[in-house]
Amino acid sequence: MNEANESKKDSGEGLVGQLLKFLELFWEWFFAALHPTRCCRKLLAIKDSRTRMQSSAKLWVPSFVVALIVDVPLYHLYGIELDTLGFHLASLLWFTAAVALSGFVIQLGLSWYKVRSNLADVMSIFACYFVTYQPIGAILSYPVDLKCYAILSSAKKSGADFSHALGLILSGSQSIAAGLDAVLVSASICSLIFIALTCIGASLMALTLAEHYSRPKVVCFKALAFSFSVLIVPVLAFEGLLSTYVAYAFLK
Amino acid sequence: MPDTRHTNFDLAIDSAAFLIAVLGWLFLIWVPVIIISVGVYLRGAGLLVKVYLISLATLVALAVLLGFLFKWAASGIVRRKPIQIVVATVTLIALDICLYILPSMSGQYQGADRFEGFVQGAGLAIVAIVTAMGLGRLGPSNE
């Protein structure tokens, strides 16, 4: 009897412990979002590369979860519920792959401009200034996603295959988007804010890299501009294609 | 870490410089790729081959030229060089007029497109203004 009670108590404490760890993770993410520069300083002060990578990866999960919560109403509108595990796991996979590839590609851009950077440093800085703000990205891409999902859903209902649906999205399908004037108007404003925030994040990243590696500011700006406009474009296009395909497969 | 002497004002100017550098790369790489792809797609539309090729080459050359100009200007803005700041501001204003203000006045944009055109035009104008503010922060301390 006593043993059973003790094991119940242990499992209860274990659950509380897990919950506290989970909350701690969220608190760390929240702190990073409030003070990105301070968080970046903290991460870069970690000597061991592996520990630094692990610490920066801890910011990805809460960021993804909050972004997912933001997107729940949108998914619900098109028949994707929270229990559609396949969709959310695939989204998490594409998100993680996109973050890892973007970090790698930025590292490539930096080495192209002869900045002797370290992948763990680049990933940490990228996580602080970009990945942390994924929920804001989700809010800002809401109107564009709404338009895309409306087109995808309409194409799927009419029996069109994925390539046809993709063609409709790329051409901005006026007939389907005709009743979405408010969405289109918000989409253009949100895109503008998104671009402005990306530029601010990239500038902060360039300044951080310049100081961390004692390189001229202009060299880091050039390297990041090259990475963001030339190297990241194919990565994001591929990630967008896969995400659209997953959405098309799960839409009702 | 970002320098504490680096104010928000400097960050705004640097962000504008970053956007201009990105625009430079877009004009240098992706715009020619798009122009050539569209050109190949329209090839079968029965256009005069010589005129068609010359206009295509002119467009690509203009895009590449603009790309180099923006890249050069962006480096100068980060270093707070007055000539590059003035050139970038003037070019952005000229682009704004050619791409958004004139088409809007001639009624090329309708409905939601009109608002989108207005937002993009306003965005470009804001970038031009922020770039011009760089003239108030000249000096080698920003190197």
Portion of chain A with pLDDT greater than 70, in percent:
91
Task: Report CB contact under 8 Å: A181, B111.
Answer: yes
pLDDT greater than 80 at residue B51: no
* Residue B4 binned pLDDT confidence (cut-offs 50, 70, 90): very low
Contacts of A152 (CB under 8 A, 6+ apart): A78, A165, A169, A244, A247, A248, A251
**Other Cβ atoms closer than 10 A to A164:** 11
Q: For residue range A170-224, what is the model confidence (pLDDT) as tens digits?
A: 776 555 555 666 777 788 889 899 999 999 999 999 999 999 999 999 999 999 9
pLDDT at B48: 67
User: What is the rounded distance in angstroms from the CA atom of residue B121 to the CA atom of residue A175?
Assistant: 25
A34: exposed, middle or buried (C-beta count within 10 Å: 0-12, 13-18, 19+)?
exposed
pLDDT at A218: 93
A166 within a domain of the structure (yes/no): yes
The A residues from 191 to 210 touching B (CB cutoff 8 Å) are 192, 195-196, 199-200, 202-204, 206-208
Task: Report CB contact under 8 Å: A222, B143.
Answer: no
Q: Which of A106, A61, A101, A117 is nearest to A240 (CA)?
A: A101
pLDDT greater than 50 at residue B126: yes
Quick one: how far is CA A182 from the chain centroid?
25
A204 within a domain of the structure (yes/no): yes
Rg (C-alpha) for chain B, rounded Å, is: 18
Portion of chain A with pLDDT greater than 90, in percent:
31
Residue A156 structure tokens: 């799927």
The ipTM estimated for the assembled molecules is: 0.86
Task: Report CB contact under 8 Å: B120, A200.
Answer: no
Averaged pLDDT in 10-residue chunks for chain A of 252 residues: 62 78 87 90 88 86 88 88 87 87 93 90 92 92 86 84 82 61 79 93 94 92 94 89 88 80
pLDDT at B46: 60
> What residue ranges do the domains of chain B occupy?
8-135
Mean pLDDT score of chain B: 84
Higher pLDDT, A54 or B41: A54
pLDDT at A227: 94
Enclosing domain of residue A201: 35-250
- Stated as kind and residue range, the H or E segment containing B133 is helix B111-133
The B residues from 80 to 99 touching A (CB cutoff 8 Å) are none
Strands (E), A53-121: none
Distance in Å, alpha carbon of B82 to nearest chain A alpha carbon: 16
pLDDT at B37: 87
Output the pTM of the full model: 0.86
H and E: helices and strands count for chain A: 13, 0
A8 within a domain of the structure (yes/no): no
A241 within a domain of the structure (yes/no): yes
Does any CB of chain B come closer than 8 Å to the CB of residue A211?
yes
pLDDT at A175: 58
Q: For residue range B78-119, what is the model confidence (pLDDT) as tens digits?
A: 999 999 999 999 999 999 898 888 887 777 766 666 777 888
A1 within a domain of the structure (yes/no): no
Q: What number of residues does chain B have?
A: 143
A235 within a domain of the structure (yes/no): yes
- Please state the domain count of chain A: 1
Task: Report CB contact under 8 Å: A181, B142.
Answer: no
Q: For residue range B15-40, what is the model confidence (pLDDT) as tens digits?
A: 999 999 999 999 999 999 998 888 88
